[in-house]
Amino acid sequence: MKWFVPGRLEVLGKHTDYAGGRSLLAAVDRGVTITLEDADEAIAASTTAVPGRLRLLPGVEPGLPQGHWGYYVQAVLDRLHLNFGDLKPASLLFDSNLPLASGMSSSSALVVAAALALIDHNGIRDTDEWKANIRTDIDLAGYLATMENGLTFGALEGFRGVGTFGGSEDHTAMLCCKADHLTEFTFCPIEEQRSVQFPADWTFVVAVSGVLAEKTGSALESYNNASRKARELAEAWNSATGRDDAVLGDALASSDDALEGLRAISAHDDALTARLTAFVTESEVAIPRAIDALERGDIKGFGEAAELSHRNADEALGNQIDETNRLQWLARELGAPAAAGFGAGFGGSVWALVETAEAESFADRWLAAYLAEFPAVEGRASTIVTRPGGPARRLDS
């Protein structure tokens, strides 16, 4: 059995999903391929990227180094076992052409791939528990996201996850985006909004900074802090108003004057003020402007929205670094009409919108200019030319 799961490009939507905001997303034409074969005992997992073979059992600590890829597979086993019972033995082989820790969600693609293969292998879609809780691909995206953040989904009890307080943006893009389209989703709950055709004569070039955006150590703490601040805002709002809004997006949508109320509530705390500004600017200003521009074929307007998003991420959200800021600036200097950092941040990558005919040469010039300023990342920095691809799909019958 084989499945292909694409990586995702977060065109816009930095740290908005878990707070109930908007994202503008695409699946890409690179990803993770999983091959599952029958086995005699346990779950064996290996990858073409590194030697070795893991033996994993549901509920049993694998004893791996922090951040090891095996923990993402372990989280899938633990959750499926908890929610649906014993799992049949299997051998899993992962192959990926996504850059690791680049912001293109290689870790979430690993989770989705492992889950889809094991769900099919064990006939889980035919169970009463599945049918009662997972009716659509959007439901499935939400459920697979809780394998990472540890939350309960419907009646399907949560477990420990992988330590990130993230949302469901990655999983939604991988399962629900369309080839040759950018699609807007809102979250908490996940709902598909506008989908716009991506122009045939334009392409994304992604520059991988070479600074790993790993969700471990200080990067994990910075990532989770952005989530905590959004949650603190919602809690402070509920305390002040007597409401019971689950996420920041719900609070903001509760009334016409909610934004002013939230500003007043956060005024005593610079960090909360910055987090509110980051969320509102990204979700309520940059993304609607970007989609409006694409719908009318206005590449310049799309670029202005992307510029606003990147500056907001740097100045209010605080998840950009010198390398990603410089990559974004260099892309614009080299003629890209739009460019922005994306993903969790604190490392990772930047996308640039480039005419298809010039994409390869632009990628070479962009990387050369970047390495001239940051020679220490040579060998780790790279570029990818990609367009919006289709969603996850089984490769055999």
Is residue 244 over pLDDT 70?
A: yes
- Per residue in 140-157, pLDDT (tens digit) is 999 999 999 899 999 999
Instruction: Confirm if 377 and 210 have CB atoms less than 8 A apart.
Output: yes
Instruction: Confirm if 342 and 351 have CB atoms less than 8 A apart.
Output: yes
Supply the DSSP symbol for 156: B
Is residue 101 over pLDDT 70?
A: no
Does residue 31 lie in a domain region? yes
Q: What is the pLDDT of residue 216?
A: 42
Is residue 24 over pLDDT 60?
A: yes
Same domain, 239 and 186: no
Same domain, 157 and 213: no
Q: Which two tokens stand for residue 54?
A: 């893991």
Instruction: Give the closest residue to 329 by CA, choosing from 352, 357, 298.
Output: 352
Same domain, 122 and 226: no
Does residue 396 lie in a domain region? no
- Out of 154, 172, 197, pick the residue that ends a domain: 197
- Per residue in 367-381, pLDDT (tens digit) is 999 999 999 999 999
Same domain, 172 and 245: no
Q: Percent of the chain at pLDDT above 90?
A: 84
pTM of the model: 0.92
Is residue 164 over pLDDT 70?
A: no
Bridge-based pairing of strands 43-47 and 90-96 is parallel
What domain range is 287 assigned to? 202-389
Rounded to an integer, what distance in angstroms lies between the CA atom of residue 279 and that of residue 313?
A: 9
- Per residue in 122-136, pLDDT (tens digit) is 999 999 999 999 999
Same domain, 305 and 193: no
Same domain, 177 and 212: no
- Count of CB atoms within 10 A of residue 127's CB? 16
Same domain, 222 and 313: yes
Same domain, 210 and 96: no
How confident is residue 163, by pLDDT bands cut at 50, 70 and 90?
A: low
How confident is residue 47, by pLDDT bands cut at 50, 70 and 90?
A: very high
Rounded to an integer, what distance in angstroms lies between the CA atom of residue 383 and that of residue 381?
A: 7
Q: Please give the average per-residue pLDDT across 242-266, as a whole number.
A: 96
Angle of helix 169-176 relative to helix 106-121, nearest 10 degrees, comes to 60
Same domain, 191 and 209: no
How confident is residue 165, by pLDDT bands cut at 50, 70 and 90?
A: low
Angle at 316 between CA 314 and CA 320, to 5 degrees: 20
Is residue 7 over pLDDT 50?
A: yes
Instruction: Confirm if 90 and 36 have CB atoms less than 8 A apart.
Output: yes
CATH number of the domain within which 308 lies:
3.30.70.890
Same domain, 14 and 138: yes
Same domain, 164 and 254: no
How buried is 202 (Cβ within 10 angstroms: 0-12 exposed, 13-18 middle, 19+ buried)? Answer: middle
Q: What is the pLDDT of residue 315?
A: 96
Instruction: Confirm if 251 and 22 have CB atoms less than 8 A apart.
Output: no
Q: What is the CA radius of gyration of the chain?
A: 21
- Per residue in 213-228, pLDDT (tens digit) is 554 445 566 667 888 9
Does residue 320 lie in a domain region? yes
CA-based torsion, 82, 83, 86, 91: positive or negative: negative
